[in-house]
Amino acid sequence: MLNSVNSVLDLIGNTPLVKLRSIPGGSDAEIFVKPEYLNPSGSLKDRIALEMIRAAEAAGKLKPGYRIIEASTGNTGIALSFVGSCLGYKVTIYMPEGMTPERIKIMESYGAEVVQLKTEKLSSTEKSIAGSEVEIPTRQMCLNIERSTPKTWWARQFSNPANTAAHVKTGKEILKQMDGKVHAFCASIGTGGTLLGIAKALKERVPDVETVAVEPASAMYSLLSGHRKVPGTSDEISGGIVADILDSGLLSGSMSVTNDEAVAMSDRLVKEEGLFAGVSAGANVYSALKIAERLGKGKRVATVLPDSRDRYLTEKKYTT
């Protein structure tokens, strides 16, 4: 009997759940991770790329012959390049200069055009990168191009409700895989869709579950400080889902993680657990471990491993 899928796009989502064996201590809560790098292009952003594109098509905003544009530090750009190429669209990604070259090469392999813009933020001695801050110039460029260029669709991952909707499905997967028994969930904020979508799904089924936001220690305008958006920017290029998170009342707390802490934990994931995950995964698991130590034995903590380690081979940066 034939056992196949009709398209590689059918392989997006439904990633497995893995219980960590070595990293948690004997008196800690159990930690479960979803290796989202098992999505076809190597990150959880495949979920939102497909959801955003299909929603735009259904709304008549994206049609054959259009070009997809987006501002990205890497993973969403790769995912849109992958999904866009599968569906016959041309894709241009605008990136802050200084991202790891592997990401650019992967996007170009899918046929996308990659444009890099200089940004002052990357001169910081702290290597971790808050995408909501460094993407501002590239978002402004996308806005200008969308206004001036016909047959162009800007994905707007930072404010697109399809981003959150995609991860409500991720949250439902976690609930099913854990039989509804989850006491805490944490994830890096990034554009906010992963955290908000999963938190919505979990809170609906398990109202007392802890949902914790994780941020790079270098973030200047963070949720930790109560910022809804980057000061001095318009709602067209900042805020969006991040502001929705603050309005939602779903967050139980937040944590900041340094680049060194994230890198060290990502190394442990590879060496101790055999999970070839990236640095943002290290940040998530570092935070999950802190929560697990606090909650103690008998509790369960879940998180996601957003991307693959193959895009951090040149330089290890905690990038959201």
Q: How many domains does the chain have?
A: 2
**CATH label of the domain that carries residue 307:** 3.40.50.1100
Q: For 259, what's the count of Cα atoms within 13 Å in the CB-facing half-sphere? A: 15
Among candidate residues 154, 175, 191, the one where a domain is terminated: 154
261 occurs within a structural domain: yes
* Cα 221 to Cα 71: distance, rounded to the nearest angstrom: 19
Among candidate residues 127, 154, 181, the one where a domain is terminated: 154
Q: Clarify whether residues 178 and 70 are in a common domain.
A: no
Q: Clarify whether residues 146 and 229 are in a common domain.
A: no
Q: For residue 59, what are the domain limits?
A: 45-154
pLDDT in tens, 19-54: 999 999 999 999 999 999 999 999 999 999 999 999
Q: Alpha-carbon torsion 242, 320, 101, 10, what sign?
A: negative
Q: Clarify whether residues 87 and 196 are in a common domain.
A: no
Q: Clarify whether residues 302 and 173 are in a common domain.
A: yes
- Encoded amino acid at 139, one letter: R
3 occurs within a structural domain: no
293 occurs within a structural domain: yes
Count of beta carbons in the 10 Å neighbourhood of residue 169: 15
What is the pLDDT confidence band of residue 124, given thresholds at 50, 70 and 90?
very low
Among candidate residues 154, 182, 209, the one where a domain is terminated: 154
88 occurs within a structural domain: yes
Q: Clarify whether residues 235 and 203 are in a common domain.
A: yes
Count of beta carbons in the 10 Å neighbourhood of residue 186: 29
- pTM equals 0.93
Count of beta carbons in the 10 Å neighbourhood of residue 161: 17
pLDDT in tens, 168-211: 999 999 999 999 999 999 999 988 999 999 999 999 999 999 99
At 78, list the tokens: 């790769």
Q: Clarify whether residues 143 and 255 are in a common domain.
A: no
Specify whether the CB–CB gap between 48 and 163 falls below 8 A. Answer: yes
226 occurs within a structural domain: yes
* Cα 187 to Cα 211: distance, rounded to the nearest angstrom: 8
What residues are annotated to the active site? 45, 280
At 31, list the tokens: 């930690």
Give the CA distances from residue 254 to residues 14, 65, 111, in Å, rounded to whole numbers and listed in that order: 27, 43, 38
What is the pLDDT confidence band of residue 123, given thresholds at 50, 70 and 90?
very low
pLDDT at residue 238 greater than cutoff 70: yes
